[in-house]
Chain A
Amino acid sequence: MAKIAYYPGCALNERSSHLDRSARDATVRLGFELDELDTWTCCGAVPPVSKERVMNLIAPSRILKNVRDSGRDILITICDFCYNTLKRTNFSIKTDDITRKRVNAFLADDTPEREYLEKDDTLWEDYAGEVRVIHLMEYLRDELGYEKITENLKRPLKGLKIAPYYGCVMLRPQNEIQLDDPENPSIIEDFITALDAQPVKYPYRTECCGSYLSVSSPDASTRLCYRILTSARNSGADAIVVSCPLCFYNLDSRQKAITEAYSDFKPLPIFYFTQLLSVALGVEYGRQGFEKHYVDVTPVLDKIDISTGKGDE
């Protein structure tokens, strides 16, 4: 089975381990294995947004260089923040000579290879952006092909109306990420269609969930998430699907606060795209980590008789 370099990132290792596990389960059924890097560090998360021009790029560059040095040219990530950080770092290194030189100077300086360097500098090869950073959903769409998913469906999600939620960093900035049109994307809709479910289009699918405001101004995030969730529900959605752990946290856990703040609010289950994929490919219901969700997903899956474990393989 093909092994593809995989960078999980901090969230998938801990709080969002169900995102990680469902992704591994699903991909194996699609014929490839997510091969976690032997060693990896924090990607740096938000820093690419900052004006600092070198320090924020060191950690992600080191990860990318290790992938390159291990002879691989594709790196899959799932968390939208990791994807954004690694892809944008790669973009800077690839397109800006000064950044590339500076980053490599730092990397060279703190590497154990330094002693060899002093003897023979040909051993060192600058990292020049050779690795392609690919989001798992991008891989499914462009490398595997969504039709492969449809061919392998064990439990088509026919009858479910799913609303995609894109969040912010999966698509932006467009000139660097180039995954889809940030104003009018379709990658998640097409994914939902591939699972035989019905995508629900609603105006808030690309609006902000509050992101880190959840920490500093939770009320702001509560209000934003209320609008997103209500808009999706009013458009007929049974559930929302996301790929970003922070979106998941805001849209799911925050529903407690939303229920307290808004009397008309009705909860809406949130899924990771990998959970829906994994369920649809027939992976055991019990392996999905649904017990980690604040909003119970069973009523939705009851609609198509999945929560009972029917169809588990």
Chain B
Amino acid sequence: MKRIGVFVCHCGINIAMTVDVKRVAEEAMNMPGVAYAQDYIYMCSEPGQALVREKIKEEELDAVIIAACSPNLHESTFRAAAEEAGLNPWQCEIANIREQCSWVHTNREKATSKAIRIVDTLVQKTILNESLEPIPVSITKKALVIGGGIAGIQAALDIADSGYKIILVEKESSIGGHMAQLSETFPTLDCSQCILTPKMVAAGKHPNIELMTYSEIEEVSGYVGNFNVKIKRKASFVDWSKCNGCGLCMEKCPAKVPSLFDRELATHGAIYVPFPQAVPNKPVIDKDNCIYFKSGKCRLCEKVCEIGAINFEQEDLIVEEEIGAIIVATGFETLPVPNLVEYGAGDVPDVIDGLAFERLLSASGPTVGEVRRPSDGMVPKEIVFVQCAGSRDPERYRPYCSKICCMYTTKHALLYKHRVHDGQPYIFYIDIRTGGKGYEEFYHNAELDEGIIYLRGKVAKIFRDGDKTVVWGTDTLTGRNIEIAADLVVLATAMIPKDSTAELVKKLRIQTGPNGFLSEAHPKLRPVESINSGFYIAGAAQGPKDIPETVAQASAAACKVISLFSRDHLEQDPAIAWVDEDLCGNCRICISVCPYDAREFDEEKGIVIVNEALCEGCGSCVAACACGATQQRNLSDSQIRSMVTASLGGE
């Protein structure tokens, strides 16, 4: 029989306070196969690991069990230690007596006996564990970044600079995202365009980056290191290889289409670039609004284009790419104003959202940076800013804090004061949250020196009265109801994931959380990885965040990809499913239950086989297999049986 060593960790007092660790070690000595047992205060510390290594050699152990915290935390630590001492890493098991025992119980006696059973369960498993070897998988060293906002641009540049090829896919015709819409950025007030456009240009020119704008992901198959991606390049009806970006077509187009980039505060033609600094600076024809596509007449753009770049016959094109890793950086949108029924439901013209106000402030915006309200172009003398418009409102809208609104609203009020000196800004807030370097100082100065009136309370109702926009709110610090007849109201609407993200995650088979944002593999320790191997996440698609955080996350995601590409091949965990060819009855139920598409029917052999690179070892197929042909390595039926018996107290 195997000689097994059991090492019981105190985790300081985390385990030792509730569990009698010494007794666990003593009892372990009576378990079958256990040749050595010892407790120690911090098993994960270097002396703790040294103890494990030393005893493996001294006691000639064949396997070790570390009774400590969750395997999510330190399984790889201890497997590495075991390997260093000459054991196969799959001969090291973790018995979780912290999260699943000491942290959730108070009765020391009962917790101790539970800890003993947990250890016994792992002993039963370990007796039957096989030594395994990791499965090597090759890597295509080319990355895909989905989303061309600042997150996608930054990630693409970082990966490209390290020498790997990148495809940057963007749904719109230009990269730049929301950051291109902003005027100045908090807390330094540097111009958003000025710091963004050099990066856009760099991404456009980088020899390792292939831009695919006006494109969408059609289909993704494969697995980490070896994805096959189909990308739909939408018909722009302009031959970009010919177009020199002269802009004559856009000048002559008679159609008037509300500009989404300008938050519908201005219009552009049906052939357009979203903004003058677009990268690539090539127009597209909006088929839904083009007069020719609607009525069969016009083609004015075609007539004025001297180089013949307009092509009404162009069709969507599907391109296929081999990809090794995918970064999802699809960004955010904001809760539409019409959704906020108590704030005018979108029917009050002078109620706009923060992004629209950015366009009013922007030097390249529809008012060339003058603050003029949409209804009649008047310069507003009283502006009300409403924070948490749809955020922190679990009953009616979104439960979470959108994080950036406190800062950008203060910035809005301050920039407004800089433009309209006799104007009066009011800010309704629930709390002012200024976590970030230099943020509190920025807010503090604005409140003290800029004459902004902060009102702590929520706004109940906004409606139009003549040419005024009336705001009813409450000031909870004075306990009074407030009524302001304002000239303009700016709502800090909740940040929400893009509509298209929901559709995309289905194609990628990655997870989102309850509010539709992308889920990270671990909220603290794996914040830029998806739980599905080969997918990384960055930016506001993962949750509300500001530019510095977005850029940091993008670089982190890029770093993960670079680290992946720096290896010759990948090592896949071998503790996955396998099929006993003699037992497989070819019912194929396992194919339908596998969430990772890791099972396929082998025509030649007439049985189902496992794609080892795709299998995540979830065990769904094992549970579904009626004839026991499918088994999980190191979690066979006989192991599970003896583990269940041990966990129930033996017999």
- A and B assemble together: yes
Using a CB–CB cutoff of 8 Å, the interface residues on chain A facing chain B are 181, 183-184, 203
The answer on a CB contact under 8 Å between A203 and B341 is no
List, in ascending order, chain A residues with CB within 8 A of B464's CB: 203
Contact B465 A184 (CB under 8 A): no
Could you pull out 12 A-B pairs where Cβ atoms are within 8 angstroms? A181-B341, A183-B341, A183-B342, A183-B461, A184-B341, A184-B342, A184-B345, A203-B461, A203-B463, A203-B464, A203-B465, A203-B470
User: In the complex, what's the smallest C-beta–C-beta distance from B4 to chain A, in angstroms?
Assistant: 52
A259 to B485, CA, bound (A): 26
The interface residues of chain A lying within 8 Å CB-to-CB of B345 are: 184
Contacts of B470 in A (CB 8 A): 203
Q: How far is the CA of A13 from the CA of B464 in the complex (A)?
A: 40
Tell me the count of chain B residues lying within 8 A, CB to CB, of chain A: 8
Interface of B is mostly: strand
Distance in angstroms between the alpha carbons of A183 and B461 in the assembled complex: 9
Residues of B within 8 A of A184 (CB): 341-342, 345
Kindly list chain B residues whose C-beta atoms are within 8 Å of the C-beta of A203. Answer: 461, 463-465, 470
Shortest C-beta distance, A236 to chain B (Å), equals 13
* B410-468 contacts to A (CB < 8 Å): 461, 463-465
When distances are taken between beta carbons in the complex, the residues of chain B under 8 Å from A183 are: 341-342, 461
Measured in the bound complex, the distance between the Cα atoms of B342 and A201 in whole Å is: 14
Q: Known pairs A181-B341, A183-B341, A183-B342. 9 more at Cβ < 8 A?
A: A183-B461, A184-B341, A184-B342, A184-B345, A203-B461, A203-B463, A203-B464, A203-B465, A203-B470
What CA separation (Å) do A184 and B461 show in the bound complex?
Answer: 11
Least distance between B38 CB and chain A CB atoms (Å): 54
Across the interface, name the chain A residue whose C-beta is closest to B465: A203
What 9 A-B pairs come out closest when comparing CB atoms?
A203-B463, A184-B341, A183-B342, A183-B341, A184-B345, A181-B341, A203-B465, A203-B470, A184-B342
Set of chain A residues within 8 Å of B461, measured between Cβ atoms: 183, 203
Q: Which residue of B lies closest to A207 (CB)?
A: B461
Tell me the minimal C-beta distance from A168 to chain B in angstroms: 14
User: Complex: how many Å from CA A202 to CA B600?
Assistant: 64
Least CB separation from A235: chain B residue: B465
B17–chain A nearest beta-carbon distance, Å: 39
A58 → B minimal CB distance (Å): 30
- Report how far A181 CA is from B341 CA in the complex, Å: 9
Contact with A along B335-369 (1 / 0, CB 8 A): 00000011001000000000000000000000000
Question: In the bound complex, what is the Cα–Cα distance between A240 and B463 (angstroms)?
Answer: 19
Closest to B347 in A: A201
Closest to A203 in B: B463
The distance from the CB of A39 to the nearest CB of chain B, in whole angstroms, is: 40
**Complex: A183 Cα to B393 Cα, angstroms:** 15
Closest beta carbon of chain B to A174's beta carbon, Å: 9
Assembled-state Cα–Cα distance A183/B340 (Å): 9
Q: Which residues of A have CB within 8 Å of B465?
A: 203
Within 8 A of A (CB), among B6-39: none
A112 to chain B, nearest CB (A): 44
User: Roughly how many angstroms separate A145 CA and B463 CA in the complex, as a whole number?
Assistant: 31
CA of A188 to CA of B556, assembled, Å = 55
Nearest Cβ in chain B — how far from A165, in angstroms?
A: 15
Residues of A within 8 A of B341 (CB): 181, 183-184
Q: Distance (Å) between the CB of A25 and the closest chain B CB?
A: 35
Distance in Å: Cβ of B480 to nearest Cβ of chain A:
16
> Taking the nearest CB of chain B, how far is it from the CB of A175, in angstroms?
9
Nearest-CB distance from A292 to chain B (Å)?
32
Instruction: Write the nearest CB–CB distance from B2 to chain A, whole angstroms.
Output: 55
Chain A residues lying within 8 Å of B463, measured Cβ to Cβ, are: 203
Chain B residues lying within 8 Å of A181, measured Cβ to Cβ, are 341
Interchain CA distance A296-B57 in the complex, whole Å = 104
